[in-house]
Amino acid sequence: MDPLTALGAALAAAHFGTPLAYYAAARRWLKTPWHIKPDPTYAPTATVAIPTYNEARNIEEKLEDIYRQDYPRDRLEIIVVDSASTDGTAEKARRWATAHPDADVKVVEEPQRRGKASALNAALDTARGEVFVITDADCRWPQKDALRRAVSWLADPAVGAVTCLKKPAADGPAGVEAGYRDRYNILRLAESKKWATPIFHGELAAYKTELLRKVGGFPLDIGADDSHTAAKIAAMGYRAIAAEDLWCVEAVPHNGYHKWRIRRAQHLLQHLLKTPAAEAPPPMRPILLAEKYLHLANPWLLLAVVAAVKNLRDKGLVWEMQEK
C-alpha cells in the first residue's frame, strides 16, 4: 500500500472509529451507578424563566404547560421576558396572567431585542426562586411532574444543574431527528453518570440560582448559553447532569430544518471551543476532550480523506488499484 492510501485509510478509520469507540465507552459508563440521591419530596422555591421573541403562537400553551405542573403553586414563580416582539406575545402573556391570578406570573418587556441570554439574565436579576429553570416557548413538558423530577436531583448537594432528555415532536422532519436523538440521549446520560454532560437543553434546564449567579449568569457571546453555564458550574466541581427520568418534546421546524441544525451546531462549537478541558474536574476531562474532538476535529478528517483519495485519483492510482 502506498503511503497516501495508508494515510487515507488511517484517517478514515479514525473518523468512523472514534465516535464508535466513544459510544462503546459511554455504554460502559451507563451501567455504573449515579452516586447521586434524588429526593422526590424536595420542593424549594423555583423560578421558571421563558424568554420570548415573537412567540404569540406558543406562549399561552407554554404557560398552560407550566401551570399544569404539580409543583406547589406558592413556591413557583414564572417570568416571561419578552424582547420587543412584534406579534403581541407580551400582551398575550399579560392577558393569560390576569386570567390566572393563582399563578405568580411576571411579564418583563425589554425595549429592544438583545438576545435570549440577555433576557434570561434580566429574569435572573429579580428571580426569587432557589432554583432557576429555563424553558423555550416552543417546546413542551409532557410530564406533569417534570419540575418536581428536575428539582429532585438538585436536592443532592453534589448536583449544580439538571437538564432533560429530548424527543422531537412527532411531525415534520421528526423521523430523521428521532433516529439521531436515541444515540444522543444515551451519550448525554452516560456522560452525566460519569460526571457531567457538557450539552444542556434550553427546553428544560434547572440550575441552583446561587451557582448561576456565581458564574455570572448566561454568557452573551456564546449561542449555547444553557450548556455553557452548566459547564461553568461543573468546572466549579458540581455535577451537571441530564436526568434519566426527565423528557421534553422539542419543536422541530418544518421550514429551514437544515439551517436550524447548522445554527445549533455552530452554537455548540462556540461553547466547546471556550470550555477548556484542563479546568474541568478530572472525571469530566475525558468527556470534554471526546466531545471537543468529535465536534471540532473529527468532521475535518473526512475532508482529509476525500482530499487524499482525490490526490490518488489525480495520479491515476485509485483506478489502477481497482483494475488489479
Q: Does 264 bind ligand GDD (CB under 6 A)?
A: yes
Q: Which of 36, 66, 93, 137 binds ligand GDD (CB under 6 A)?
A: 137
3-state secondary structure of 213: helix
Q: Does 203 bind Mn ion (CB under 5 A)?
A: no
Residues listed for the chain: 324
Q: Does 226 bind ligand GDD (CB under 6 A)?
A: yes
Q: Which three cell numbers stand for residue 35?
A: 452516586
Count of chain residues binding ligand GDD (CB under 6 A): 24
Pick from 278, 274, 252, 276: which is nearest to 264 by CA? 252
Pick from 242, 17, 273: which is nearest to 150 by CA? 242
234 binds, among Mn ion, ligand GDD, none (CB under 5 to 8 A by kind): none
35 binds, among Mn ion, ligand GDD, none (CB under 5 to 8 A by kind): none
Transcribe 227-285 into DSSP letters: HHHHHHHHHTT-EEEEEEEEEEEEPPPSSSHHHHHHHHHHHHHHHHHTS-GGGS-GGGH
Q: Does 259 bind ligand GDD (CB under 6 A)?
A: no
CB of 250 to Mn ion, least distance (A): 7
Count Cα neighbours of 80 within 13 Å in the Cβ-side half-sphere: 30
202 binds, among ligand GDD, Mn ion, none (CB under 5 to 8 A by kind): ligand GDD
CB of 119 to ligand GDD, least distance (A): 3
Of residues 81 and 211, the one with the C-beta less far from ligand GDD: 81
53 binds, among ligand GDD, Mn ion, none (CB under 5 to 8 A by kind): ligand GDD
Q: Which of 82, 110, 138, 225 binds Mn ion (CB under 5 A)?
A: 138
What part of residues 77-136 is at the interface with ligand GDD (CB under 6 A)? 81-83, 113, 115-116, 119, 136
Q: Does 55 bind Mn ion (CB under 5 A)?
A: no
Specify the pairing of strand 46-52 against strand 76-83.
parallel
CB of 253 to ligand GDD, least distance (A): 8
**List of residues 6+ apart from 63 with CB closer than 8 A:** 50, 78, 80, 93, 96, 97, 100, 103, 105
Q: Does 177 bind Mn ion (CB under 5 A)?
A: no
3-state secondary structure of 161: strand
Helix extents (H) in the chain: 3-30, 59-67, 89-99, 116-126, 146-154, 174-194, 209-214, 225-235, 257-273, 285-292, 298-314, 317-323
φ/ψ (deg, to 5) at 276: -70, 130
Q: Does 138 bind ligand GDD (CB under 6 A)?
A: yes
Q: Is 242 exposed, middle or buried (0-12, 13-18, 19+ CB in 10 A)?
A: buried
51 binds, among Mn ion, ligand GDD, none (CB under 5 to 8 A by kind): ligand GDD
Taking residues 14 to 53 in sequence order and writing x for each that binds ligand GDD by CB under 6 A, - otherwise, the string is -------------------------------------xxx
201 binds, among ligand GDD, Mn ion, none (CB under 5 to 8 A by kind): ligand GDD
CB of 63 to Mn ion, least distance (A): 17
3-state secondary structure of 47: strand
Residues lying near Mn ion in the complex (CB under 5 A)? 136, 138
Q: Which residues bind ligand GDD (CB under 6 A)?
A: 51-53, 55, 81-83, 113, 115-116, 119, 136-138, 201-203, 224-226, 260, 263-264, 267
